[in-house]
Amino acid sequence: MAPELKTGFLLINKPTGITSYGCIGYLKRIIRQKIKIGHAGTLDPFASGLLIVAIGRQATRFMSQVMVLEKTYTATAKLGELTDTLDYTGTVISSCDSVLITEKTLLNSLVSFGSSYEQTPPIYSALKHEGDPLYKLVRQKRMSEQELEDIAEKKRKVVQLYQLQLISFDAPFFTIKACVSHGTYIRSLVNDIAVRAESCATTYALERSAIGQFTLEQAIPLAHINNIEDINSKLILVENINL
């Protein structure tokens, strides 16, 4: 007889190359029970790091509270190159001068953002327009790129920057650490940093290391989950969830 599945939060270290929804599908194939399951905060397929999965109805009730927690990321980007998706999986649409950019230039750019700024989301995003995510409208070519950019522009919003730090600079690549509010697009932030330094940038690596008090160090690699016992052993039980 299969062990009883407990209810709570499972912290997963998502690998690159799989969607957040794909992680849920992987877990469902292991669980094989009719149970409510969901995640808080989508990671792009090329990104890795912390993904919080709620297992059971009691746990999923906390999802709205988890979604709005601040998130911490480390991102590495390449200056002088811009793709349509703002990450390396896209098509290069522009080249920008980056020869004169120094570490000081980037530091000045980061400082200029202060504790918040108004951000325009990328058109390759899960933001919805009339029920459909923008990335779907882009790929289906149901609207022109200009129309989609106009929609994204109307969805501009102020995002909070609790920490914005330059970790390294080895031209043309630079790495930042950012702790930000819910709804902040790191791909957009990376390019906005470059734009203020009079260039452009594409994100090449992105890792989420924390969501509120939950950290990547607490997470289990997806590949290490092979049965219900693995899930139960790493589950943060509902009675121990303190938000």
- Domain boundaries along the sequence of the chain: 8-68+213-240, 71-120+156-211, 127-155
CATH architecture entry for 8-68+213-240: 2-Layer Sandwich (3.30)
Residue 1: is its pLDDT beyond 60?
Answer: no
Burial (0-12, 13-18, 19+ Cβ within 10 Å), 70: middle
Which residues in the chain belong to E strands, given as ranges?
A: 8-14, 37-40, 48-55, 71-79, 81-83, 92-95, 116-119, 128-129, 132-133, 157-170, 173-180, 201-211, 214-215, 220-221, 236-237
> Which pLDDT score is estimated for 75?
98
Catalytic residue chosen out of the listed positions 44, 87, 170, 230: 44
Q: Please tell us whether the domain made up of 71-120+156-211 is placed in CATH 3.30.2350.10.
A: yes
Q: So what's the pLDDT on residue 135?
A: 65
pLDDT of residue 176: 98
**pLDDT tens-place string over residues 9-58:** 999 999 999 999 999 999 999 998 889 999 988 899 999 999 999 999 99
Q: Per mean pLDDT, which of 35-44, 80-89, 139-148 is the most reliable?
A: 80-89
132 assigned to active site: no
Within the chain, residue ranges assigned H as helices are: 20-31, 57-60, 63-67, 103-112, 134-140, 145-154, 186-196, 228-234
> Matching CATH topology for 8-68+213-240 and 71-120+156-211?
yes
- Looking at residue 113, what is its pLDDT? 97
Average model confidence (pLDDT) across the chain: 91
In degrees and rounded to multiples of 5, residue 51 shows phi and psi of -130, 120
pLDDT (average), residues 151-171: 92
Lowest mean pLDDT among 77-91, 136-150, 184-198, 200-214: 136-150
Give the DSSP letter of residue 87: B
pLDDT value, residue 238: 86
